[in-house]
Amino acid sequence: MLRVIRSSIQGIDIDPDLADEYEEAIETAIKNRAVIRETNSLDELGQKTYRIALLPYTDPTGANRWAILDDGATESDWQDTDDLDEAIAAYEEWVRGATAGAMPTYDDEGYEKLLWDESDVKGIAAKNEYDGDSHNGTARMVDAEWAHLAFVAAEEAYRKDTQRRQIAFAKAVDTFGRGGQATLARNVDLKEPTVKTLADKGRQILAERAAAELPQVTVQHLRELLDSQNQEPVLYLKSDDDLELDVWAAAYVPSARIIIRQEELLDLLGEDRDDDSLNDQLDDLQNTVAEMAAAIKSEA
């Protein structure tokens, strides 16, 4: 639906406090050569004395819109819409209306002058006539890009909402305790197996997020442990302000924080101490880190 942005002949449809920002946004688009369709009249110096134009712009709220401008010598009317088809129809209708309503003027020899110097509206006479369909193709490319960006944003919003529901289900069921799954199923009018599936997914997401926040055991950590000259060196989980992995002498490390001792790692590796062999130990050690982190959290 068309809305009036600026006009000398009617009231505006936008917040008056934002009127200057809307005008500035459109003027900036014009300066950036965003105009896609235009019909105009020029004076002897080549300056535009009358212009009807169609262009894309982004309004002050961040919405992508189509502006249709009618700028004459004494009157001005700027409107916009989010519908390109409506914008094209309005632009062509305005040009045809202005043409039909113009008072004819004549040259010195008595011939009627053309109203327009340039136009891309089919059937409108001008000194320079352009292909409006070609210009519409350019506009539709812009519109398609906008549609794609909106789709991507909607997809991301849907993904976030989906995960939020799954996590909420998991927390609701687990916090409620016995009978929580059945109670939630009744409350949201879903079958209990569906609620279980959603809650399970929520638990998985929470576990993955928790795991991502944990320090990750790497081959470098195991190399450091193997090479350590400390007495009975161990790889352990430090729990100061943040959780960290470090190698230190066992005598100075609480046993509940020890992930693996040097001698244990040597036994696991045997003669094979290459990176591939070390890499094979990472999953089990990372599970140990996760268990320790959970214990630390429960103690807090």
Assess contact for 296 and 239: CB atoms under 8 A: yes
Confidence of residue 220 (pLDDT cuts 50, 70, 90): very high
What are the residues facing 252 on neighbouring strands? Answer: none
Residue 210 reports pLDDT greater than 90: no
Instruction: Among 26-30, 52-56, 194-198, 253-257, name the one with the lowest average pLDDT.
Output: 253-257
Average pLDDT over the chain, rounded to an integer: 93
Q: How many CA atoms lie within 13 A of 94 on its CB side?
A: 28
Please, where are the H alpha helices in the chain? Answer: 19-31, 84-101, 132-176, 180-188, 192-212, 219-227, 262-269, 275-279, 282-299
Q: Averaged over 176-193, what is the pLDDT? A: 96
Confidence of residue 178 (pLDDT cuts 50, 70, 90): very high
Return the exposure string of 62-99: e unless at least 16 CB atoms fall within 10 Å of the residue's CB, then b.
eebbbbbbbbeeeeebbbbbeebebbbebbbebbeebb
Return the exposure string of 113-124: e unless at least 16 CB atoms fall within 10 Å of the residue's CB, then b.
eebbbbbbbeeb
Which tens digit of pLDDT belongs to each residue from 244-288? 999 999 999 999 999 999 999 999 998 888 999 999 999 999 989
Which of 184-193, 201-210, 268-277 has maximum average pLDDT?
A: 184-193
Residue 209 reports pLDDT greater than 90: no
Residue 191 reports pLDDT greater than 70: yes
10 Å CB burial of residue 236 (0-12, 13-18, 19+) is buried
* Encoded amino acid at 180, one letter: G
Q: What is the pLDDT of residue 131?
A: 96
Q: How many residues does the chain have?
A: 300
Confidence of residue 74 (pLDDT cuts 50, 70, 90): confident
Q: What is the pLDDT of residue 266?
A: 94
What is the pTM assigned to this prediction?
0.71
Instruction: Among 16-25, 106-115, 138-147, 283-292, name the one with the lowest average pLDDT.
Output: 106-115
Residue 37 reports pLDDT greater than 80: yes
Q: Averaged over 111-123, what is the pLDDT? A: 92
Residue 240 reports pLDDT greater than 70: no
Torsion (CA) 156, 158, 161, 162 in degrees, nearest 10: -110
User: What are the residue ranges spanned by the domains of the chain?
Assistant: 3-130, 147-212, 219-299
Residue 10 reports pLDDT greater than 80: yes
Residue 65 reports pLDDT greater than 90: yes
Confidence of residue 299 (pLDDT cuts 50, 70, 90): confident
